[in-house]
Amino acid sequence: MTTYGSFPAARPRRLRRSPVMRRMVAETRLHPADLILPAFVREGISAPVEIGSMPGVYQHTRDSLRKAAAEAVAAGVSGIMLFGVPEDAKKDAVGSVGTDPDGILQQALRDVRAEVGDELLVMSDLCLDEFTDHGHCGVLDAQGRVDNDATLERYAEMARVQAGAGAHVVGPSGMMDGQIGVIRSALDGAGHQDVAILAYTVKYSSAFFGPFREAVASSLQGDRKTYQQDPANARDSLRELALDLEEGADMVMVKPAGPYLDILARVADAADVPVAAYQISGEYAMIEAAAQRGWIDRDAAIMETLLGIKRAGASMILTYWATEVARRL
């Protein structure tokens, strides 16, 4: 009884009184196995290069990438998603180095498989943007527009080459119409029926991709609004989901994660396959920058954002903090 009257018997604060009580009743839990580490490997460098807008993240040499993969395994991380950064002189209009068996990404796939075998799921970004001199995710037509169907032919070849180099999972990220069906057919036709497809089903044209473009030394001219999704739209994501599932996606992804938790929740409710979310470069950079200035508690902010992504429905999270967080967990 207080001066304001009596309260009902229900007091939710009882379940928040101590760390052990909060831990016992927690509805959402992170586990190292939920995490996937995105990693960059750059051609022509002799030592890892820190990415200016992503402190603590590096463009790896082939040797340092092997070490990073081994550390991820030791921490209990489930997968590593590889992005190749070729020398600028090797970029061309069709991204030839992306389908060269000796291209930097294919070399990295073989390196990591040799290092970790099947202890870590080795995933490869299946897109042309790192390899084209114009920086777009596809082949351009005579008017400078991304040619959807010509791009699919390049994706099919990329899928075969990446699978041949040892990828357990390919991640088509270009947002071309029909890409999942074409890639599935190409993999199966080349005898790679066991290689899984993690479809970038929902990928918005986001301002938060900025640091990533530094990470892959992007040559992008213009923007990707004609093929990545409009941030104003939600129903579009469910349409993309239905198409990707029909075409044979084994897993689906929402990217970015933090600004699109509502979309992630809708996709997770509708999908009958595992759902991933990618905590992208801009999300990483914001937390690191604010923490460096003493504005937020870095470790607490990292864990809170990851819990939010998991709570929204992600069964897997791609995050640049994967190894660090797995160790902490």
List active site positions.
203, 255
CA 204, CA 256: separation in Å to the nearest integer?
7
**Helical ranges in the chain per DSSP H:** 19-25, 62-75, 104-116, 148-165, 179-189, 210-215, 235-247, 261-270, 281-292, 298-311, 322-328
Closest CA to 92 of 82, 81, 100: 100
Say which residues have a Cβ less than 8 Å from residue 245's Cβ, sequence separation at least 6.
Answer: 252, 271, 272, 273
Residue type, position 277, single letter: A
CA 90, CA 94: separation in Å to the nearest integer?
11
Q: What is the pairing mode between strands 275-278 and 316-318?
A: parallel
